[in-house]
Structure 1
Amino acid sequence: MTTGSTQGMTAAAIAAAVHGTLVGDGSVVVNRAGALDRAGPRDVSFFGTSKYSDVFAQSTAGVVLVAPELAELPGRCAARVIVPKPGDALAAILQMLYVAPSRVPGVHPTAVVAPTAHVPADARIEPYAVIEDGARLGARAWIGPHCVVGAGATLGDDVRLFAQVTIHDGVTVGDRVIVHSGARIGGDGFGFVFRDGAHQKVPQVGTVVIGHDVEIGANVTIDRGSIDDTVVGDGTKIDNLTQIGHNVRIGRLCIIMSQVGIAGSVRVEDGVILAGQVGVAGHVTIGAMARVAAQGGVISDIPAGETWGGYPARPHRESLRSSAAVMKLPALLKRIERLLSKEGV
């Protein structure tokens, strides 16, 4: 959600900014970023793996950030900047090359703000947003169109809610949190008991607490706690279409990729990485700095620092061996059939 800088940057300025080595024309000016295969003379791109050597050879990008081991490969770009981690360097350049859209304070006439809500003068409330009774917005809050901030909810400073985000009653959101479109934070957890021949709803009386510097992707759902709170720690990043159940506690600096599902009362400790479509059964603990490979099904505790995968999830090497064995089954079955045929069975 940014716009390109009109000033641009020279190749020499880029090299200085990332402490890289310039090869080529330092006066080349770029004003946007582009994928290596589509970048043109006004674009900066990056080249970090030999897999894309053929693409690099044909790229007409103005400036390419290049890993040292690839620096001598032939290419058509006007300038290359040799830097150890091209992807990281590009991230730094993007922050200089692109500027955030301007935030003009004010409350749009179509927005509905309860008389008891606290909205600072420097907040921006966009069309059809609703700020309910007792809600408190921090300094420089930016509330997108059709958002709802529920009764008694608290948002910290510099919070950005994109269009159609719902922050339910009583939820707490820390400073510098970004929530993308369609996310729902603080809806009821999935709690029922079977009684008198029917599923009876268990009141969900906890809330959700989001720490500082968290980013939450589009259409993420985070359930409020049943009697405890659902917590997301500082600096954690959650990708699109993720479901987090009630009473879950997620630590600091975790990475949770798209379509992850975390059942109730799970503990995810600091620095954990859950790859896409991981499923986590209820009441398990994933230890600090552990990793779960894509589509892993976690049904038991994972020790700190380990990498697991597969279903059911188990140590990654063991999971790979099991997968390899399964791939061999068709050939093994044919061999068995041939042996049985020879025996006349």
Structure 2
Amino acid sequence: MEFTLHQIAAMLNGKIEGDGSLKVNRIDKIQEGKEGGISFLANEKYESFIYETAATAVIVSENFVSQKPVKANLIRVKNAYSGFTQLLESYAQLSKANKFGVEEPSYFDKSSSIGDNHYRGAFSYVGKNCNIGNNVQIHPHVYLGDNVKIGDNCIIHAGAKIYQNTQIGNHCEIKAGAVIGSDGFGFAPQEDGTFKAIPQLGNVVIEDHVSIGANTTIDCATMGSTIIKRGVKIDNLVQIAHNVIIGENSVIASQTGISGSTEIGKNCVIAGQVGIVGHIKIADKTTIGAKTGIPKNINISGQTKFGFLGMDIKDFLKSYSLFKKLPELQDRIKELEKKA
């Protein structure tokens, strides 16, 4: 696909500095830009590349001031990062091969229904009494159990498994290999030392505009629902246990594990490899750093937690600065003991 700089500037509500009639057909990193490509500059660490890049055009923020001559044509927008993201989204929509129809072999139970403009890939399975909306793509090897509901404009990628009674809203994307609604980890210890499985009778409810990463697992509730609220974005390889609630517009990075019946607030940011115990509440707008352990409630919104036991980040950094000095302090103590 090929676009003029005038077309791109109009799309991004930007202003051109240079020749707007020039055409681009590729999106490049600024340090790898070539003729016919368009790049962006949003981080000052990469500013040196704008004076070297061979890209035809570079998207910059409207307040960017060049320190040297720039060969590339510039498209100035309010925010370069947001503008480039908008360009990527538009490009992805245009370049995405929208599939329609049904590939065989596949199975669709006669008691289920599906809306207009749908796609069902080969070896997909749709169980009894499912209700699927318009413009839904169900890719190969997807499994939908009985009584699953999926709203409009959703994409279920290859190999995803969605267990019975799961409810998915509109404009959701479930990436490849994700498992939604499998049994929660519930076992009752017995007198003889063995464990007996506790039936998991609830479901999973996913609201609108949610993205679930590849190979992520969301367990069904023991009773009631595990709930992923509107606008949540979950990375690959995340484990969400039974009866967890994730608040609106929260984001969770890879390899995080959230134990049962925990409630995460709105607009939280949870980095990779975070571990959160069960039956606690995390306040709105909490940020949790990578590899942090959260053992108890976080009641005050807007805090940042970091460290093995989730200390306030300022306290953690102070403590860590002392930790690094322990060998030096030990030597000083030994010297003082010799003088005593």
TM-score range, shorter chain: over 0.9
Aligned positions of 1:272-287 closer than 5 A: 272-287=268-283
In structure 2, what is the Cα distance between the partners aligned to 1:170 and 1:69? 51
Aligned positions of 1:126-137 closer than 5 A: 126-137=121-132
Offset, 1:26: 2.2
Aligned residues: 337
SS in 2 for 1:333: helix
Q: Which residue of 2 aligns with 1:35?
A: 29
SS in 2 for 1:66: strand
Q: Please say if 1:218 is aligned against 2:197.
A: no
> Percent of aligned positions with the same letter in both sequences?
30
Match of 1:178 among 170, 173, 177: 173
Match of 1:55 among 49, 53, 60: 49
Q: Please say if 1:123 is aligned against 2:112.
A: no
Q: Which residue of 1 aligns with 2:301?
A: 304
Post-superposition Cα deviations, 1:61-85, rounded to whole Å, max 9, x if no partner, equal: 2211123554313365421223342
Task: Classify 1:103/1:84 alpha carbon distance in 2 versus 1 (closer, same or farther; 3 Å).
Answer: closer
Amino acid at match of 2:144: V
In structure 2, what is the Cα distance between the partners aligned to 1:120 and 1:89? 34
In structure 2, what is the Cα distance between the partners aligned to 1:323 and 1:169? 48
Q: What TM-score, normalized by structure 2, do the two folds share?
A: 0.93
SS in 1 for 2:114: coil
Q: Which residue of 2 aligns with 1:268?
A: 264
Amino acid at match of 1:330: P
In structure 2, what is the Cα distance between the partners aligned to 1:20 and 1:154? 41
1:105 and 1:121 in contact (8 A); partners too: no
Which of 140-149 and 252-261 deviates more? 252-261
Q: Which residue of 1 aligns with 2:84?
A: 90
2:153 and 2:171 in contact (8 A); partners too: yes
In structure 1, what is the Cα distance between the partners aligned to 2:110 and 2:262? 38
Post-superposition Cα deviations, 1:85-123, rounded to whole Å, max 9, x if no partner, equal: 211000112233341534343221211112222233532
Offset, 1:244: 0.4
In structure 1, what is the Cα distance between the partners aligned to 2:290 and 2:58? 31
Task: Classify 1:89/1:148 alpha carbon distance in 2 versus 1 (closer, same or farther; 3 Å).
Answer: same
Q: Which residue of 2 aligns with 1:334?
A: 331
2:53 and 2:72 in contact (8 A); partners too: no
In structure 1, what is the Cα distance between the partners aligned to 2:68 and 2:217? 47
Post-superposition Cα deviations, 1:293-338, rounded to whole Å, max 9, x if no partner, equal: 2222111111212222112112221122222222222332333344
1:263 and 1:281 in contact (8 A); partners too: yes
Indicate the RMSD between aligned Cα atoms, in angstroms. 1.9
Gaps of 5+ in 2: none
In structure 1, what is the Cα distance between the partners aligned to 2:321 and 2:246? 33
1:71 and 1:82 in contact (8 A); partners too: no
SS in 1 for 2:51: helix
